């Protein structure tokens, strides 16, 4: 690989097939855009693998995710911000401190360079905020019309301290269930920016890196039992999965679950259920009752979590697990998984 030349600029306005063929044009793309926003000691070596040294007797968390969000820019974020937050949050839910990430770009020929730059800049900002780096990556360019603008795969490695043990298996009766704020905003923000959706709304995605939140609460409590970010399928799906994995019954209270007024109205209008709508900056936290209040106080200090609250508790052991949803009017129903994406109603 040629020696990287910092501050090189691309001559083209659009991504060409040659930008993905591994030759001179690929080097130009890497030097002018990738290194501009992701530069660090490991990545700048531009080797085939990132070599990370100094790890011994440590638990590693390793995750991967692919991002195909449409549209690629939406209120509150874009695919660049989303892919970094998504991978960081996946690591954080294991109790890991995110350390290094990889990024694979698949780009449609003809994508405007300034669009790619905005995406990379956005990703770079989140990396900086969360104190992580992209240390290895890949770029491919495919023919026009063979895909939709840009897809991104990210994977990540994080390190877990020996004293940290986060797992659904640790959930036990008496645990409190906490959440760091209002739900359903990411899914609605993405929906509202699709061309076929002609309603105007002020809802923005909650997309955010939550690793600092997790580090803060693990510093002050060793009784955090489980964590999960409520992405696709919403908080309902996550709650059901965790109840099944831990073989416990949860009680969750409708009046405690925060849904912004505009989000609720939009859901009612379209026939959607906010419990099942994707979030990208919401974490469900299961903590021993004795530590619930101090964990809550610590959460509220985080800039993404001022509206944290307790939404339920773990009631008892139950073979198949279940989530009992206590409605505002005092009735109870059991949450169930949905079978596919929610569809808006007709009348």
Partner 1 sequence: MNDKISNIINKIYKISAALPQINIMEVCGTHTMAIVKNCLRQILPSKINLISGPGCPVCVTSNSDIDNIIELSEERKNYIFSFGDMLKVPGSKTSLYEKRSEGANIKLCYSPADALDFAVNNPEINVIFIAIGFETTAPLTAVLIKRAFQNNIGNFFIYNIHKLVPPAIQFLLDSESKNNIHAFLCPGHVCAVTGSIPFDFIARNYRKPCVISGFSPEDILESIYMILKQIVMDKPSAEIQYKWVVKEKGNQYALKCINEVFETGRSYWRGIGVIENSGLILKNEFKNFDAKKWFKIKDKNIPEPKLCICGDIMQGKKKPFECLLFGKKCTPDKPVGPCMVSSEGTCAAYFKYEINKT
- Contact set with partner 1 (CB under 8 A): 196-199, 249, 270-271, 318, 320, 322, 324, 327-334, 336, 338-340, 342-347
Tell the smallest beta-carbon distance from residue 239 to partner 1 (Å). Answer: 13
**Of residues 301 and 337, the one with the C-beta less far from partner 1:** 337
| Residue 256: CB minimum distance to partner 1, A | 14
- The least distance separating partner 1 from the CB of residue 274, rounded to whole angstroms, comes to 12
Backbone phi, then psi, for 212, in 5-degree steps?
-70, -35
- The answer to whether residues 226 and 217 touch, using CB atoms and an 8 Å cutoff, is no
120 or 314: whose CB is closer to partner 1? 314
Q: Which is nearer to partner 1, 184 or 208 (CB)?
A: 184
Residue 341 Cβ, how far from partner 1 at the closest point, in Å? 9
Are the C-beta atoms of 273 and 267 separated by less than 8 Å? yes
Task: Please report how close the Cβ of residue 324 comes to partner 1 at its closest, in angstroms.
Answer: 8
Asked if residue 67 lies in contact with residue 111, where contact means CB atoms within 8 angstroms, the answer is: no
**Beta-carbon neighbour count of residue 23 at 10 Å?**
10
CA distance 119 to 81: 7
CB nearer partner 1, residue 136 or residue 243: 243
Distance CA 151, CA 172 (A): 39
Ramachandran area for residue 313 (φ above 0: left; ψ -120 to 50: alpha; else beta)? beta
Whole-number minimum distance, CB 199 to partner 1, in Å? 7
**Cβ neighbours of 304 (radius 10 Å):** 19
Toward partner 1, which CB reaches closer, 15 or 266? 266
CA nearest neighbour of 84 among 61, 63, 101: 101
Ramachandran sector of residue 57 (left: φ over 0; alpha: ψ -120 to 50; beta: rest)? left
Q: Shortest gap between Cβ of 346 and partner 1 (angstroms)?
A: 5
Nearest to partner 1 of 163, 340 (CB atom):
340
Which CB, 60 or 270, lies closer to partner 1?
270
Closer to partner 1 by Cβ: residue 261 or 303: 261
Q: How far apart (Å, rounded) are the C-alpha atoms in residues 84 and 281?
A: 12
Minimum CB–partner distance for residue 116 and partner 1 (Å) = 28
3-state helix, strand, coil in the chain (%, to 5): 35, 25, 40
Identify the CA nearest to 186 among candidates 103, 67, 46, 286: 67
**Rounded Cα distance, 196 and 173, in Å:** 46
CB closer to partner 1 out of 98 and 312:
312
**Helix 185-192 crosses helix 261-270 at what angle (to 10 degrees)?**
60
Q: How far is the CB of 65 from partner 1 (least distance, A)?
A: 23
Identify the burial level of 320 via C-beta atoms within 10 angstroms of its C-beta, where 0-12 means exposed, 13-18 middle and 19 or more buried.
exposed
């Amino acid at each position: 690989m040629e020696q990287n030349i910092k501050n090189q600029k691309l001559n083209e306005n659009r991504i060409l097939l040659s930008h993905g063929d591994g030759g001179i044009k690929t080097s130009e793309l890497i030097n002018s855009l990738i290194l501009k926003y992701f530069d660090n000691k490991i990545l700048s070596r531009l080797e085939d693998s990132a070599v990370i040294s100094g790890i011994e007797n440590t638990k590693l968390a390793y995750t991967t995710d692919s991002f195909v969000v449409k549209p690629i820019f939406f209120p509150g974020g874009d695919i660049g911000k989303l892919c970094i937050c998504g991978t960081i949050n996946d690591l954080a839910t294991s109790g890991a401190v995110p350390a290094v990430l990889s990024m694979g770009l698949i780009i449609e020929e003809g994508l405007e360079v300034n669009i790619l730059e905005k995406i990379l800049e956005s990703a770079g900002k989140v990396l900086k905020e969360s104190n992580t780096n992209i240390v290895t990556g890949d770029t491919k360019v495919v023919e026009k019309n063979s895909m939709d603008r840009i897809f991104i795969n990210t994977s990540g490695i994080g390190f877990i301290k020996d004293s940290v043990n986060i797992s659904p298996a640790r959930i036990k009766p008496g645990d409190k269930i906490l959440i760091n704020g209002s739900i359903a905003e990411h899914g609605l923000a993405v929906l509202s920016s699709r061309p076929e959706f002609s309603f105007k709304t002020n809802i923005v995605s909650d997309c955010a890196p939550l690793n600092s939140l997790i580090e803060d609460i693990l510093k002050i409590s060793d009784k955090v039992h489980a964590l999960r970010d409520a992405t696709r399928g919403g908080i309902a799906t996550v709650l059901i999965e965790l109840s099944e994995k831990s073989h416990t019954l949860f009680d969750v209270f409708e009046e405690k679950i925060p849904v912004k007024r505009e989000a609720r109205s939009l859901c009612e209008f379209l026939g959607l259920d906010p419990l099942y709508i994707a979030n990208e900056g919401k974490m469900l936290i299961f903590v021993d009752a004795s530590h619930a209040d101090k964990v809550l106080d610590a959460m509220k200090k985080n800039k993404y979590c001022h509206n944290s609250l307790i939404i339920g508790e773990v009631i008892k052991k139950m073979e198949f697990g279940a989530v009992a949803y206590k409605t505002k009017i005092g009735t109870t129903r059991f949450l169930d998984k949905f079978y596919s994406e929610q569809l808006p109603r007709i009348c």
